[in-house]
Chains A and B, each alone.
Chain A
Amino acid sequence: MALDSKVPEGPIKDKWTIYKDKINLVNPANKRNIDIIVVGTGLAGGSAAATLAELGYNVKAFAYQDSPRRAHSIAAQGGINAAKNYQGDGDSNYRLFYDTVKGGDYRSREANVHRLAEVSGNIIDQCVAQGVPFARDYGGLLDNRSFGGVLVSRTFYAKGQTGQQLLLGCYSAMNRQIARGKIEMFNRHEMLDVVKIDGKARGIIARNLITGEIERHSAHAVVIATGGYGNVYFLSTNAMGSNATAAWKIHKKGAFFANPCFTQIHPTCIPRSGDYQSKLTLMSESLRNDGRIWVPARIEDAKLIQQGKLKPTEIAEENRDYYLERRYPAFGNLVPRDVASRAAKERCDAGYGVNATGEAVYLDFASAFERYGKEQAKIHGIKNPSKEKIKELGQAIIEQKYGNLFQMYEKIIAENPYETPMMIYPATHYTMGGVWVDYNLMTTVEGLYCIGEANFSDHGANRLGASALMQGLADGYFVLPYTIGDYLSNDIRTGAIPTDTKEFDDAEKEVTDRINFFLNNKGTKSVDHFHKRLGKVMWDKVGMSRNEKDLKAAMAEIKAIREEFWKDVMVPGAANEMNVELEKAGRVADFLELGELFAKDALIRNESCGGHFREESVELDGEQKGEAKRNDKDFAFVSAWEYKGEPADAVLHKEQLEFKDIELKQRSYK
């Protein structure tokens, strides 16, 4: 099967407008006869469900939590980008488009990204109208801040809780439609398979997580909005329930899986403290606006720090290595996430890490306290302020800006970050890869759509800060509602889809067989045991830096863990009740397949790109010596994998990426 991205003709800036003018519409009276299933109610699924219902379709929405408001989007802290140019600093749709394509290391689809930039402004308008309390300046207008990798201030925010407020905005829009009866909400339901009839997606099989009942739901189209698969690493910044199941199940039914190896490792997370740890906590990247990152310059000092015999405040300025400022003078501590993450790992691998495990670097606010303190002393006319006074004044400013983050850090680590530098380390955060979709956001299965973090299209090999929220809402509020209408206009005479058909029988049987297998297996090891082992292989061999030998080994090891899992996993309890272990077992089974495909995808991509550093592909000389080397000649494509049974047998399809509007250039942050 040939991949067709269906990107419309015409100049990039007009593609979306021309497209919208030409598509088929569904008459409002007919929309009442059309059902749409939306799986996932985060920013992407929630906004899609609300808007499709508003348009008049009958929507059935599904989430595994007890409420749409708890979807993982709630955790996003930093903010959302939009090209509003309210600050008059030269922002434009083109500039947002350009920054996003460049930030993604030229591995995203131009037309999709341009459309994203075009609708970004509408998102802010929409959310404000819904009552999202974005930060305002004293004049009553919207405030902005800046994020890594860009030179304008285009990030809108609601304190450190932007994702929460945006999600509550779509949740309220959903509630309005639930009250009107246009959305039927299925909380605590997990989608376990998709049902295809005559090649088209026509329904899903879901498990009611309270009663264990297996349910059939039919529709004219199915939308997958189930978020990212970062938990394949076991430890990540994702919520505990975040999973790949829906995406993986549709992959097995014909949807291609694109760029699985593109994961983002976020540089500013709270480091791991022990083997019992269940997740990693992100500290917003906005901290890098004021914090300076360093490790000891002398290995002896690093050793003493690791043994707890020396304090960071006892290391003199000249014995500190501010390695980002040293290596990247132009961007310094504000280099993009991939660059900052790799640089931290490089120092820690070389033995300079600053906690007991040697896997942490310092994020130090001392000089920000001083800088702000001096400024405040001037503003308040304090003559000859003491060092302590300066620090106190400066700390008050930092507290205003990041107080909640400092508090969160202190709760977790039990150290006061105002007195001693924070410790941070990179962690798996966001997955740029996902289900392959065309310009319409349709997968390679007809009538099956995929939006938000679950798809692959907009971020390339690296995601800039504050752009995932933008993509989720753009897809759900403003893109999918158009593109899906074009498809559904052929379904106005179809009528309701029955669920008592062979296709539903078969899919349901597959699901129940698997559940029964788990419960009857009577193995000896818990689900988490296997998940942790998978995570370790993924982090050690398919993490930030990769090489051919390790990747091949990883594929074999993951396969072995998978085989052992099916032989020896133990799942207590029964099928017809709430059974948390059973839920986990299904998710981990899917991660064990996805993990291997992930490694296989990394193996074929013999270039350093975005967050992933391929040890065989390094700049050998010049200004960029030692930095990651991208290879556009051979790898300017999307890898889209077709399922063929074992992950190792998956077949590669390439979508060649064309850059007509942006010249492919080496990314330099020097």
Chain B
Amino acid sequence: MNLTLKIWRQKDAGSEGQMVDYKVTDISEHMSFLEMLDVLNEQLVNAGEQPVAFDHDCREGICGMCSLYINGEAHGPDRGITTCQLHMRMFKDGETITIEPFRASAFPVIKDLIVDRMAFERIQQAGGYISVNTSGNTQDANSLPISKHAADEAMDAAACIGCGACVATCKNSSAMLFVGAKVSQYALLPQGQIEAADRVKNMVAQMDLEGFGNCTNTGACEVECPKGISLDNIARMNRELMKANL
């Protein structure tokens, strides 16, 4: 395949960015999207130019590092995947592909396609944990049975990889799917109950402080989420918040 790429280039957080056109040739349909970008970068380096910076690490859809807004969609066309799992067979020969960073005011651009997702870190630090001493003196793990249903549901919520696609795709740049997933995981487990009220209040307060927008139930986040995190988690978070404020 031969493709035209329109890529956002931005030197650093302080500089202005712009779209730049590139051409790549001989792209195999078996390549992943990031391997296609590797080909472009090899080409740029060989020409003595700076390669396009993009975030990635595991390249198997689990670390949450890769981002990219491809042809107007977070993680590109195809559902239930991250950008590193996107394959070139989803594109056609001769196509023009637009590649931008995840855009949200709470995710400032660091360079080219790399954004700063530290806001997610700070939300987790505000209460996304269970306060347990890491001493090795905790009670036996089977002394508190947990129904299979609750454990499975908690696992589904816990599967969030913190990629930020939900924010990037939301017209309000809301982080509620991400925060809802974490709140739900602990709300569903007996271990998380004691701090539940403070947890949800603090995490939501931090979320607002970071400049994420509100949820208006459009549901775009659920559609683009690579891990199928469901909107139910937002509802559960709202219930938890109401309970906490009573």
Contacts and interface: CB of A to CB of B under 8 A. Distances in A.
Contact of B81 (A50, A141, A281, A411): A411
A69 B159 CA distance: 12
A18 interface: no
Interface in B117-160: 117-118, 120-121, 124-136, 138-142, 144-148, 151-152, 154-155, 158-159
A54 B133 contact: yes
Interface stretch (A125-133, A329-337, A434-442): A125-133
A354 to B, nearest CB: 17
Q: Interface residues of B: mostly helix, strand, loop or mixed? A: loop
Given A239-B63, A526-B42, A126 B124 contact: no
A159 B45 contact: no
Interface stretch (A503-511, A546-554, A575-583): A575-583
Nearest to A179: B125
Contacts of A65: 57, 63, 65
B76 interface: no
A130 B62 contact: no
A136 B50 contact: no
Contacts of B89: 414
Contact of B154 (A54, A129, A133, A176): A133
Contacts of B58: 70, 72, 74-75, 239-240
B220 to A, nearest CB: 22
Interface in A150-197: 158-159, 161, 164-165, 168, 171-173, 175-176, 178-179, 185, 187
B145 A141 contact: yes
Contacts of B42: 526, 528
Contacts of B146: 136, 140
Contacts, number: 216
Interface residues of A, number: 78
Contacts of A159: 155, 159
B218 interface: no
A175 B129 contact: yes
A573 interface: yes
Nearest to B227: A161
Contact of B148 (A126, A140, A578): A140
A553 to B, nearest CB: 28
Contact of A66 (B116, B125, B145): B116
A125 B147 contact: no
B136 A122 contact: yes
A137 B46 CA distance: 56
A519 to B, nearest CB: 12
Contact of A176 (B65, B81, B129, B145): B129
B50 A572 contact: yes
A570 B43 CA distance: 13
Given A67-B121, A239-B63, A173 B129 contact: yes
Interface stretch (B1-9, B26-34, B209-217, B234-242): B26-34
A70 B133 contact: no
B141 A125 contact: yes
B35 A276 contact: yes
A47 B65 contact: no
Given A75-B62, A122-B136, A276-B31, A142 B142 contact: yes
B60 A125 contact: no
B51 A581 contact: yes
Contact of A70 (B65, B125, B191): B65
B131 A176 contact: yes
Given A129-B138, A176-B131, A572 B151 contact: no
Given A129-B132, A133-B151, A75 B63 contact: yes
A31 to B, nearest CB: 14
B49 interface: yes
Contact of A129 (B11, B87, B120, B139): B139
A185 B125 CA distance: 11
Contacts of B51: 572, 580-581
Most A CB contacts (10 A, CB to CB) among B44, B45, B162 go to B45
A86 interface: yes
A526 B42 CA distance: 7
B48 A126 contact: no
A278 interface: yes
A133 B185 contact: yes
Contacts of B57: 65, 70, 72, 239-241
Interface in A443-471: none
Interface residues of B, number: 79
A39 interface: no
B151 A54 contact: no
Given A142-B141, A570-B45, A578 B59 contact: no
B192 A131 contact: yes
Contacts of B135: 51, 54
A139 interface: yes
A477 B134 contact: yes
A569 B64 CA distance: 31
Contact of B140 (A125, A140, A281): A125
A480 B85 CA distance: 37
Interface string B1-24: 000000000011000000000000
Contacts of A527: 45
Contacts of A54: 133-135
A381 interface: no
A47 B64 contact: no
B97 interface: no
A172 B38 contact: no
Interface string A198-239: 000000000000100000000000000000000000000001
Contacts of B154: 131, 133
B200 interface: no
A185 B122 CA distance: 12
Interface in B68-86: 80-81, 85
B39 interface: yes
Contacts of B114: 578
A379 B23 CA distance: 59
Given A133-B158, A135-B151, A578-B12, A125 B125 contact: no
A139 B32 CA distance: 43
B111 A133 contact: no
A179 B45 contact: no
A139 B145 contact: yes
Contact of B39 (A130, A140, A276): A276
Closest 3 CB pairs of A and B: A140-B145, A172-B129, A128-B141
24 contacts: A66-B117, A66-B118, A70-B64, A70-B162, A75-B58, A75-B60, A84-B141, A126-B134, A133-B151, A136-B148, A141-B145, A161-B62, A164-B62, A178-B125, A281-B59, A281-B60, A412-B85, A570-B48, A572-B44, A573-B50, A578-B53, A578-B111, A580-B51, A580-B53
Given A274-B31, A276-B28, 7 more contacts: A130-B129, A173-B134, A176-B129, A278-B34, A278-B38, A407-B80, A570-B45
Interface of B: 11-12, 28, 30-32, 34-35, 38-39, 42, 44-46, 48-51, 53, 55-65, 80-81, 85, 87, 89, 110-111, 114, 116-118, 120-121, 124-136, 138-142, 144-148, 151-152, 154-155, 158-159, 161-162, 185-186, 189, 191-192
Interface of A: 47, 50-51, 54, 65-67, 69-70, 72, 74-75, 84, 86, 119, 122, 124-131, 133-142, 158-159, 161, 164-165, 168, 171-173, 175-176, 178-179, 185, 187, 210, 239-241, 273-274, 276-279, 281-282, 407-408, 411-412, 414, 477-478, 526-528, 570, 572-573, 577-578, 580-581
